Amino acid sequence: MMALHNRVSAAELKQRLAKETFKRVTISFYQYAKIPDPQAFRDQLYESLFKLDTFGRIYVAHEGINAQISVPEHHFDTFKDTLYAVDFLHGIRLNIAVDDDGKSFFVLKIKIRDKIVADGIEDPTFDMANRGRYVDAKTFNELTADPDTVIVDMRNHYEYEVGHFEGAIEVPSDTFRDQLPMAVDMLADQKDKNIIMYCTGGIRCEKASAYMLHNGFKNVFHLEGGIIEYTNKARQQGLPIKFKGKNFVFDDRLGERISEDIISHCHQCGEPCDTHTNCLNQGCHLLFIQCESCARKYNGCCSEACQTVHALPEEEQLELRKGVEKGLMFNKSRRRKI
């Protein structure tokens, strides 16, 4: 029986990826559905996708599936057939990356989660079946042309910072579970207006739309397929694209270019920049925006202190990290000063 998890080092996997001579397609998809046995479904899915040289990160829960993956181009049709053979995934929309270098993932990870999106919702009467209405790219452009339409970005601050739709409201938090009640409070006096929610690929704004309806809002919409599907469809149909800047993505690319506008700034020198990176000091690993000049000046680190640590021999760095709780120093929040 094949192993249903990876046993190869990250370094070797990255080397293998670099040597590949074929193209890969980066895809995201999700589906809210009742999965009675997530573990059995996870194991079967892992075996099927592993045979197709699929890389990526997939979460499976009783409430459904959330996936961001990379598939060899020559296996795409087989991958699609494999996916569509599952009843609740038949005909599911596949979001194809807008700006893809084929290096988004280097390993396949499929994990069981309590929920496919951590939402903090504990109300047993909440029902995902009662969700907002889909809007496509054309309808989104038409509705948002009305100044009374409220556009709500349901992504984290660091995503909104580098790119968002014109006129979109930021719900200023770094966690989706905090954003949901915050959005209800922020829009409490606008319950009768048209409210359009959006996110990267659709999964968060779909749940957010259901949460808003659950809390008494009337005219709630969510962007079908999120920013990714909107951009692809707008380009195909020759529609004006109302998204400005970069779309942050949760893989090794850290972003895909939607428009040439650079609306954010280097966190170190303040120059226009929208390139996210992680601090090379592994005891920090802070996600931040850094221009090329500062990357050279600080050797890819977020501060002089981290630069000093990063320059130490690996043994000394490991010694410094001993006893530090895993993930304690990792902080994506804008509240952390650089």
Catalytic annotation on 199? yes
- Given the residues 199, 284, 291, 301, the one annotated as active site: 199
Separation CA 273–CA 240 (nearest Å)? 24
- Beta carbons of 117 and 209 less than 8 angstroms apart: no
**DSSP letters along 155-181, please?**
S-HHHHHHEEETTPEE---S-HHHHHH
Judging by DSSP bridges, how do beta strands 169-170 and 150-153 pair with one another?
A: parallel
H or E segment and range at residue 296: helix 292-297
Angle between the 226-237 and 137-144 helix axes, to the nearest 10 degrees?
100
Check: CB of residue 195 under 8 Å from CB of residue 143: no
Do 67 and 97 meet the contact criterion of CB atoms below 8 Å apart? no
Q: For tokens 């069981």, what's the residue?
A: 112
What DSSP line would sit under 221-263, residue for residue? EEETTHHHHHHHHHHHHTPPP-EEEEE--SSTT--EESSS---
Indicate which residues carry an active-site annotation. Answer: 199
